[in-house]
Amino acid sequence: MRAQRQAGTIYVGPAIALARLCGRFPSALAGALALVIGALLLLAPARALAQQKTFYLDRLTVGGAPEDPIGLWRPFAGPQSRFFAQLGLGFALNTLRIETIAPPSARVEQFSGNPVSTQLISYPTVGFEIASRLTLSATLPFALYQSGSDPSSAGVTGSGTLEPFALFDLRLDARGIIYKSEDKKFLFGTGLSFYAPTGSQFSYGGDGAAHTAWSFAFETYLRDVILVGNLGVHFRPRGSVGELAVGDELTLGVGGFLPLRNGLFRVGAEVFMSTGIESLAGQSRVETSTFLLGRNTPIEWLAEARAWLDPDRQLWISGGLGTRLDLGYGAPDFRVVAMVGYHLPIEDSDANSPAARMRVIRERISKSGGDFDHDGIPDDVDLCPSVPEDHLEPDPNDGCPVPPDRDKDGVPDEFDKCPDVPEDKDGIQDMDGCPEEDYDNDGVPDVSDACPREPGSPSPDPKQNGCPQFIKRVTGSTEIQILKQIQFDTGKASIKPASFAIMEEIAKLLRANPDIKRLSIEGHTDNRGALDMNQKLSQDRAESVMNYLATHGIDAGRLEAHGFGPTKPIDTNDTEMGRQNNRRVEFHIVQSANQP
């Protein structure tokens, strides 16, 4: 939705959305943000005032913020305002192919190489995250080196002069979070990007005029996987090289990312694309719709890995590689990217002058002359006159340093019974510095775990809290009860996928209970069919279960498999229900730590 004028365009939709977002921030910040947004919108013309040679070729739009993937942006901001900076370096092969821009009459087979064959691009970004909802950033990419062949010999016009070094258009971003669920597992945001015409007009670095992009982003979780999606519209000046003409575009990106090692590492992949939404004419002067047109629809994928490098998680590196999925312009045959970034928290400050208390303290020092530990606190009010104050919270001016706390759990080492293990944050703290015991490592402390030796899940029902769904270990019994039978394919030993959840609970039980030294897996059948066939089937099924556990982290030396066929029924074989009960797998503990 836009109202055009001769010199430019005002985009009404983005302005309204971000104006509403400003209402979530203090009035001074909202006013400043509104002025910036208004200036950017007024400066952004819809079309270049003169015909542009070449255009902005690179299709990788780096995120830049501390938690962003390489080619997408997340509607996420840290809990504390912070400044961040990121520097990326990327190599792309064959970002513009002769087939993409050649007119129908061109003799492509006689042309050697591609118009843009190699690009080594730097992606520097700086910015701020403010009030846990707003991100402001600037990115100025530039080609450190690029090469290609002049396509004019193939009859291509408007190709410009490819220079080895080329500056790209400057991108200024304002992004905000519109909605955040209470559990913070669904976030939705919007962003406005302003492109200043700093790029080379003749070396595929710029679009030749200011332009804007409006985008939306969502984030949610699928178990531990972070799912991110971007959707937007890029309002671009029109440009053309040969038969390829570019203008306004629809942009789309999706990705999935898995944090590892408590978030210290992250792996994932993303797919991003754009496609034209106008009818444009290239060299042949034939106007054609660019929507999902091959040459106007670059699609590529990127696999990436990321790691924090310091304990405070302020320094990070990431890397990615991928390829094109079609022949659209700017999608390279191969792309590799490396990033390094750093962020600093922004401390709140109300005034430049010292606090009233500090002024009084300094006056006392100047009058009494007594400050034995030289920490700026006069001795008559210094609670620790011989130990310098470190000026850290919770009381930066009482004269005493914060007591040592090696595990940073808020319990000083002198009172911490477990100084090297952090106190847990499960709401059942006794402030002794030690975490609650959790024998089965299922996240439910033993004090409230209804099944302390069987890994399970938290539950509002105290009788089910921390208990598995499909198995039960009865105290004083050597049998591990299966509450839902393991299912096999008919007449076979292959376990049905529907029973994998049962198998995983058994594996978790064995991992959490190393005292179970030997487990017998026993297969049983009903009495239908030949005895030797049932005997073999029951043995095969028991071994199938044993092999599953062995390939899912359980030492094979702790397992044994036995098949008993129909010889040990637990119900009648005269009814279907009875026969179904007899077709089963049982688990018996044959040796534990307190047994020989």
Structural domain boundaries in the chain: 51-345, 468-592
Q: Look up tokens 């979070």; give the residue.
A: 177
Q: Output the pLDDT for position 41.
A: 45
* Each residue's pLDDT tens digit, 102-116: 887 766 677 788 999
What confidence category does residue 289 fall into, taking pLDDT thresholds of 50, 70 and 90? very high
State the chain's mean pLDDT as an integer: 82
> In the structure encoding, which two tokens stand for residue 126, read together?
């700086």
Instruction: Say how many residues make up the chain.
Output: 596
45 prior amide bond cis, ω within 30: no
Q: What is the mean pLDDT of residues 333-342?
A: 97
End-to-end CA distance of the chain: 79
Domain range 51-345, CATH class: mainly beta
State the CATH class of domain 468-592.
alpha beta
Helix (H, G, I), strand (E, B) or coil at 29: helix
Q: Which two tokens stand for residue 136?
A: 């402001």
- Each residue of 245-273: pLDDT tens digit? 999 999 999 999 999 887 789 999 999 99
**pLDDT tens digits, one per residue of 321-332:** 999 999 899 999
Residues 6 or more apart whose CB falls under 8 angstroms from that of 490 comprise: none
56-65, 353-362, 534-543: least confident range: 353-362
Distances (CA, A) of 158 to 118, 148, 204, 471: 20, 15, 11, 71
Q: Is 468-592 the same fold as 51-345?
A: no
220, pLDDT greater than 70: yes
Tokens for 211, please give them: 């332009």
User: Is pLDDT of 37 > 80?
Assistant: no
**pLDDT value for 387:** 66
pLDDT tens profile 462-497: 888 888 888 888 777 788 888 889 999 988 999 999
Top-confidence residue, 200 or 361: 200
Q: Which helix (H) or strand (E) holds 233?
A: strand 225-235
Q: How confident is the model at residue 455 (pLDDT cuts 50, 70, 90)?
A: confident
The set of residues, in sequence order, having a beta carbon less than 8 Å from that of 36 and lying 6+ positions away, is 174
263 exposure class (CB count in 10 Å sphere: 0-12, 13-18, 19+): exposed
**Average pLDDT for residues 219-233, to the nearest whole number?**
93
At 4 the pLDDT is: 37
- pLDDT-derived band at 348 (thresholds 50, 70, 90) equals low
| 3 state SS for 548-561 | HHHCCCCCHHHEEE
* Cβ within 8 Å of residue 491, ≥6 positions away: 537
